[in-house]
Amino acid sequence: MNKKQISKEIYNILLKKYPSPKSALNFSNEVEVWASVILSAQCTDKRVNIVTKELFKKYKTFKDYKNSDIEELKKIIHSTGFFNSKAKYLKDGGAMLADKYKSKLPKELKELIKLPGVGRKVANVILSEQFQINEGMAIDTHNKRVIHRIGLTNSKDPKVIEKEIVKIVDKKNWNTFSLLMIEHGRETCKAIKPRCKECKISKYCSFYRKNYIKKV
């Protein structure tokens, strides 16, 4: 089987296990998805959700972030890590969105990545989660690990992985495939001790073949 066929088999198997994969971040509108994804850099979704409970009560619009006191922002988001940079991204990004984009998140990746703190991963998450637009595929810690372990890519560079993986997965399934990889990474294909014996897709996995079958 080639990589395209393998990715399709994996997609179908994992979709049965996780029929409604979704982001673990809690948000209900474009302001919240933007802030949540920025805070999620180098931080667990669980921690972000704890922090945004307070954050979203106080800051409801892009203009609110624009007019925020940055020291207060830092205090609220401190536990997400890199709080100095993230507070600046929120304040400066809020100003840019309120002024240049008239308080509307742009729907194009090329525009989103102009925002402070927004790279390809963040932009792809925003597009897929808020607008259901698949312009690329978000590659995070979990799906990067899983995609590499399976053998769908030989790279560990997120940009290279995205470029390669979108060629073998149907465009309409890009976001779902990404979320399925994340779900599988969290539950089964863990970073330290992957649960290979319980894995539903082990027969397609190069890591399993190299590290388990030879030892049987």
The residue among 115, 140, 111 whose CA lies nearest residue 125 is 140
Residue ranges in the chain assigned as alpha helix (H): 3-17, 30-39, 45-58, 62-66, 70-77, 83-99, 109-112, 120-131, 141-150, 158-165, 174-187, 206-211
Out of 45, 86, 91, 140, pick the active-site residue: 140
Q: Between the CA of residue 171 and those of 8, 110, 132, what are the distances in Å?
A: 12, 18, 12
63 belongs to the catalytic site: no
Alpha-carbon torsion, ordered 105, 106, 107, 113, to 10 deg:
-110
Q: Residue 81: left (phi > 0), alpha (psi -120 to 50), or beta?
A: left
The residue among 99, 85, 134, 104 whose CA lies nearest residue 30 is 104
Q: Which amino acid is at 26?
A: N
121 belongs to the catalytic site: yes
Structure tokens at 52: 């945004």
Question: Do the beta carbons of residue 73 and residue 54 sit within 8 Å?
Answer: no
Alpha-carbon torsion, ordered 53, 55, 56, 58, to 10 deg:
130
Out of 16, 121, 159, 172, pick the active-site residue: 121
Q: How far apart are CA 185 and CA 179, in angstroms?
A: 10
Catalytic positions, written as ranges: 121, 140
